[in-house]
Structure 1
């Protein structure tokens, strides 16, 4: 069975109550079969409490069916913007990415009819975005470029599905503390803002909820009150936003602004360009924190959480249990509250949230408390200080369920 987009299993549920994670806010609404009611984890994971073992297997099958259906619907709805890559992941239609082609390769590529959309250099990682000639699929384009001698050829995969935001999100609490980065949609009230998609930056509910859990907003206390938010909007109004190269450029912007800790509550497939940019950011002292996703433990490993050195975070409920829908990564560092809590929503309302998207910012806030400035030489000691705050759970010592422990438990703003 082909793998399908990790993020697509839970689509635009942030428009419902409670809000769920790994969702793309602020994009044009999807067809009715992809409505919150259709894809709600409460329906997919309905009778878990009564028949946990059976429900887990049923949920995995249901999520896989939803991922395939949603991917097909996305392509049908936006055929000129979204296509499936050779592995079945949604990607920008008609575009491929090539790792640092030289002049001779460029000449061969252009002779075959490929147009150069952009040549980019992010933190020393050079790549080119190319338009596939009309009449050729992404699969055909990738194969042809590989035969021409191109290396690192890939589609520009998306990292989340689309969903609309009903109203303007509530602003964050203004602070004077360290900047913490949020790569997502646009976070209202952020101290630094930039856009990496058409129509960006644009305030977005999911991103503002993530940011509120870092800096605080309204009744939500936040993991690091007084922190300032650096918001990189990789979605804007583009149905094919959230692509790997947009995230890569957003990371480059964070490094340029010396943001020490960046959180990414988005998931997608492995991408060689994004992997290199993350590695380059890490050498410059930027710590990347990422959620493991919400497509269940049987889903493929989530990225960027699975890239080496990324701080991978899962979510737990108020009783300290790992969320039944939590995905996994190639490694796990921490667990943090991801359910039975509040974050800020549209119209200034506090709303219940659930998902590993909302655990990652609490872990990021904890790390930023001990790592306020990007400095490669001090990151290890900062992580050790985070480890010292973590409550050991599950098997004694580090384990694949809770990582090195649960962090930021007092950061939860209870729903009751």
Structure 2
């Protein structure tokens, strides 16, 4: 399925390159376009001004391959997804509306936008209306028209988000977990873990969910291996070809918040979306700290979301020699780095496997944040004291405020 496995064209092109050994990116998940063609070409110079020519060429190649692959994904899944007004991928034929008046909804209805449902976001105190766009009207045009008809309302496509990491090595010996010393509950928004990873609850927010998958298994098992006693998982993928959408993520976040998760880790990336942004802000107002990966599309890609929303703790990855992952994406503000390569976690079958991607740095950082909260400490000052400064002295755009959990999940 498109959200899980990197298409052959991208994997083959990267693996054939001279930097294949360094990149080690088979089956890395791609985020959706994020307005790549319009936005990134203006910011590549800024994003890459401090790196060497080889890295610049590699980043440009990653961006080119990303664009080509996403176009292919769109061609292969036209019955399920389409591009919105910014060129980002979303669920076909649907818009999400927040804050529209009854009069505006009546105007939209008269123009052919029919209400599919009103979705109460559990625990976050707001309602999202799902609209079906007029028949035969492309999503991008429908989005622009709806905004004209309902000025002031928040209208967005149901944008898709993609996992940002995958298997990078062979199956090895069974995994030994640390003692469960961290009492603060950590929520996960991803795919569901396999039976070998114990959770306090797993709930589905997509067709066919919960359904065990490798990515969610790895993320959840990394939390357990880092000592988190209570892990709660929201599966936003299941078997849905348009899984990982904005509405599913908002509903998943609401459930985690209302169920008692004090930290939520999200190893997914996508474009800025008003529904997800509102859900994140509402969760933060309730005291929940959200940790998110910056993605794997390289420094020339657009800023990743939800990592780039205000107050979200953005995490990048390093390899076993504490070098920044060359494929690591970027956020508007980078907080910390954590291991994102040469680490081991469980797949959906319960096998211990080597992984690579910023996806796997995020839960390790989240575990350290939860540990600080479980001891009643200020998490920011605690993490800053723990973080190992890498690169330029002090906070920087490559490693953030430093490396957390540097030896976590790396023992063979």
Q: What TM-score does the superposition give when structure 2 sets the normalisation length?
A: 0.83
Alignment length (residue pairs): 372
Q: Is residue 206 of structure 1 aligned with residue 193 of structure 2? A: no
Give 1:237 deviation, angstroms.
0.3
Taking the aligned partners of 2:368 and 2:400, their CA distance within structure 1 comes to 15
Q: Distance in 2 between matches of 1:116 and 1:106?
A: 8
Distance 1:164 1:61, change over 3 A: closer
Question: CA shift at 1:48, angstroms?
Answer: 6.1
- Could you tell me how far apart the structure 2 residues matched to 1:163 and 1:338 are? 9
CA distance 1:226–1:157, shift in 2 (3 Å): closer
Deviations 1:382-411 (A, max 9, x none): 221122111122222222221111111131
1:118-168 Cα offsets, whole Å, 9 max, x none, are 212321233211111111011111111111124222111100179999x9x
**1:162-173 map, 5 Å:** none
**Corresponding residue of 2:384:** 387
Alignment of 1:56 with 2:55, yes or no, is yes
> What is the alpha-carbon distance in structure 2 between the residues aligned to residue 347 and residue 258 of structure 1?
28
The range that moved more, 287-296 or 189-198, is 189-198
**Mean alpha-carbon deviation: is it higher for 296-305 or for 341-350?**
341-350
Contact 2:166 2:357 in 1 (8 A): no
- For 1:137, the equivalent position in structure 2 comes to 138
For 1:72, what is the secondary structure of its paired residue?
helix
Indicate the residue corresponding to 1:272 in structure 2.
274
What is aligned with 2:41? none
Taking the aligned partners of 1:329 and 1:345, their CA distance within structure 2 comes to 28
> What is the distance in 2 between the residues matched to 1:171 and 1:257?
28
1:71 alignment partner in structure 2: 70
SS in 2 for 1:135: coil
Shift of 1:106: 1.0
Q: 1:226 to 1:356 in 2, by over 3 A?
A: closer
- Supply the distance in 1 between the matched residues of 2:127 and 2:176 (Cα, whole angstroms): 36
CA distance in 1, matches of 2:150, 2:138: 19
User: Is 1:120 the equivalent of 2:94?
Assistant: no
TM-score normalised by L of structure 1: 0.82
Q: Which residue of 2 aligns with 1:181?
A: 187
Partners of 2:349 and 2:275 lie apart in 1 by 38
- The separation in 2 between residues aligned to 1:212 and 1:183, in whole angstroms, is 14
Change (3 A) 1:280 1:44: farther
List per-residue Cα deviations over 1:194-248 (Å, max 9, x = no partner).
1111000111110110111110xxxxxx22x252210100000000010111111
Task: State which drifts further: 189-198 or 299-308.
Answer: 189-198
Distance in 2, Cα, partners of 1:320 & 1:204: 28
In structure 1, the gaps of 5 or more residues are 1-10, 13-23, 216-221
Q: Report how far residue 185 of structure 1 moved.
A: 0.5
Q: For 1:19-38, what aligned pairs fall within 5 Å after superposition?
A: 24-25=3-4, 33=9, 37-38=11-12
Deviations 1:54-86 (A, max 9, x none): 442333333223222222222222212100112
- Over 3 Å counting, the alpha-carbon distance change for 1:41 and 1:154 in structure 2 is farther
Please tell me the root mean square deviation across aligned C-alpha atoms, in Å. 2.9
- Corresponding position of 1:315: 317
SS at match of 1:348: coil
